[in-house]
């Protein structure tokens, strides 16, 4: 065993939404620490694949739509079948819908809850069964500032991310003694596709930047270190934590 508690050599990580943005940054950080990567996304992830392989790691791309639970069993089976094991699950894939609450549709509610919460639980369940059987594993959920706060015009997203924080704690309570760590990262305001509308709105952009002590939007790469920590031996006694990576937003 390496003396470096952050070393992920020989580990396999399954990362959802690893083709772009935060998911890609997390996958690359885990690969840099030594992990092989199974990417899950609706489309192939050639850019992520190229970068992971350049680091000398194995990479597989699993194309699946997580708006439904139907592909979940096959996702876990393929990751284990192709890469030999499963040590780390990162539930990163998510969607957002924006509208005033008085106008918000049932379709937009269901789409977000199904992807951001329902599929996350059942993917964690499928991976957790494998991890519990082997006595070890790390599950990392990607939460949000809206796991702590209410937000504006994103009712289903807020509900899903608040629910995800509770689910993280619930699974930690059940699985900690079985050798499986379940924690979450709560990104602050990050420069991703999900926040493009906010950044393009001069008033909202100025309001958000004025609240962030670091005085900048976060970059996808800012998430990598937290992911490596929660995926590694360094976090073996960390269970049920929601780790903010937010430039100080919650401290303000």
Q: Are 144 and 93 in contact (CB under 8 A)?
A: no
Q: Are 187 and 246 in contact (CB under 8 A)?
A: yes
pLDDT given at position 34: 98
Q: What is the DSSP letter of 146?
A: G
Q: Are 9 and 36 in contact (CB under 8 A)?
A: no
pLDDT given at position 2: 72
pLDDT given at position 198: 86
**Identified catalytic residue from 59, 157, 229, 249:** 157
Check if 189 is active-site: no
pLDDT given at position 106: 98
The pTM of this model reads: 0.96
pLDDT given at position 192: 86
pLDDT given at position 197: 85
pLDDT given at position 77: 98
pLDDT given at position 95: 95
CA 66 to chain centre: 13
Domains of the chain: 12-251 (3.40.50.720)
pLDDT given at position 1: 59
Q: Are 16 and 92 in contact (CB under 8 A)?
A: yes
pLDDT in tens, the chain (252 residues): 578 999 999 999 999 999 999 999 999 999 999 999 999 999 999 999 999 999 999 999 999 999 999 999 999 999 999 999 999 999 999 999 999 999 999 999 999 999 999 999 999 999 999 999 999 999 999 999 999 999 999 999 999 999 999 999 999 999 999 999 999 999 999 998 878 888 999 999 999 999 999 999 999 999 999 999 999 999 999 999 999 999 999 999
């Amino acid at each position: 065993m390496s003396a470096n508690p952050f070393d992920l050599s020989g580990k396999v990580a399954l990362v959802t939404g690893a083709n772009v943005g935060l998911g890609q940054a997390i996958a690359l950080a885990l690969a840099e620490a030594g992990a092989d990567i199974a990417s899950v996304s609706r489309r192939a992830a050639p850019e992520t694949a190229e970068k992971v392989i350049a680091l000398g790691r194995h990479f597989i791309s699993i194309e699946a739509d997580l708006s439904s639970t139907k592909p979940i069993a096959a996702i876990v089976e393929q990751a284990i079948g192709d890469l030999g094991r499963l040590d780390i699950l990162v539930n990163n894939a998510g969607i957002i819908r924006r509208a005033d609450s008085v106008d918000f549709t049932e379709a937009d509610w269901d789409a977000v809850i199904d992807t951001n919460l329902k599929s996350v639980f059942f993917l964690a369940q499928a991976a957790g069964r494998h991890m519990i059987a082997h006595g070890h594993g790390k599950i990392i959920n990607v939460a949000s500032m809206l796991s702590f706060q209410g937000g504006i015009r994103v009712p289903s997203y807020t509900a899903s991310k608040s629910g995800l924080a509770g689910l993280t704690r619930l699974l930690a309570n059940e699985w900690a003694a079985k050798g499986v760590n379940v924690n979450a990262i709560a990104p602050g305001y990050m420069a991703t596709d999900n926040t493009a509308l906010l950044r393009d709105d001069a008033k909202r952009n100025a309001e958000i930047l004025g609240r962030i002590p670091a005085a900048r939007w976060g970059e996808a790469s800012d998430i990598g270190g937290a992911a490596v920590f929660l995926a590694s031996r360094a976090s073996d006694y960390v269970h049920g934590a929601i780790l903010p990576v937010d430039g100080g937003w919650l401290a303000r």
